[in-house]
Amino acid sequence: MNNTVLITGATSGIGLACARKFAANGDRLILTGRKENVLTEIRKELTEKGAEVLTLAFDVRDREKAKKYIGDLPEEWQEIDVLVNNAGLALGLEPEYEGSYEDWETMIDTNIKGLLTMTRLIVPGMVKRNRGHIINIGSVAGDAAYANGNVYCATKAAVKTLSDGLRIDVAHTAIRVTNLKPGLVETNFSNTRFHGDTERAANVYKGIKPLTGDDIADVAVYAANAPEHVQIAEVLILATHQGSGSVIVRE
């Protein structure tokens, strides 16, 4: 049976890769993101390949708008089988005592509160139906802080804890919870972190072959399609020459 998969932050990076991989798997997609024009292009791309796609343009930080969009889903789209909480970002790379209040708020509101909002809106239906799967995109940064990563690392540590807590809360059901923890992935992540400084962002990936969004999406699709009695609880995915969040061996 094909799943209905809702992916947040689906306009680029890991989210877009997940959209393409789940579509190739034959699943129906609900894609959310802030950029309506980009969502329209992605829907066109995927529908031309035979996928069923519904797009919702909203920011997960806007709880009221999220409630409205999810509450107004057409009846045939209301039973969501897989929720991929992907929307997230890093901003800045400064010591904690020099960080930007605005950057902190954006990361906390997106990476933690946005994930909680979508979980709160979608999971009750899964509990009622006694089936479903939540895939949270965490990070190796959630395992241990690295220099100047402070608040971003804290938000991804929260993703780990929230995933673990939800897994306990739904253990009486057939719902599964997965936390994917990527290491160095070459997307627009670093460009966003450095506020559009393309040269500085490119230096992050110099001297090492990083992961791609497709690498993470492959694991997400695998977890979602594991046998019903198998729960892929947590997966750490690193580039071959990355030992941890702070150990990267470059040529």
Just list the catalytic residues: 152
Phi and psi torsions of 86, nearest 5°: -105, -30
Q: How many CB atoms lie within 10 A of CB 198?
A: 11
Query: First and final CA of the chain: distance in angstroms?
Result: 46
User: Which token pair is 187?
Assistant: 């997307």
Distance CA 102, CA 105 (A): 5
The radius of gyration of the chain's CA atoms, rounded to the nearest angstrom, is: 17
Helix (H) / strand (E) containing 85: strand 82-85
Please say whether the beta carbons of 42 and 16 come within 8 A.
yes
Buried b / exposed e along 55-69 (16+ C-beta atoms within 10 A): bbbbbbbebeebeeb
Query: Going by DSSP bridges, is the β-strand pair 133-137/176-182 parallel, antiparallel, or unpaired?
Result: parallel
As beta bridge partners, residue 84 has 7, 135
Distance, C-alpha 101 to centroid of its chain:
23
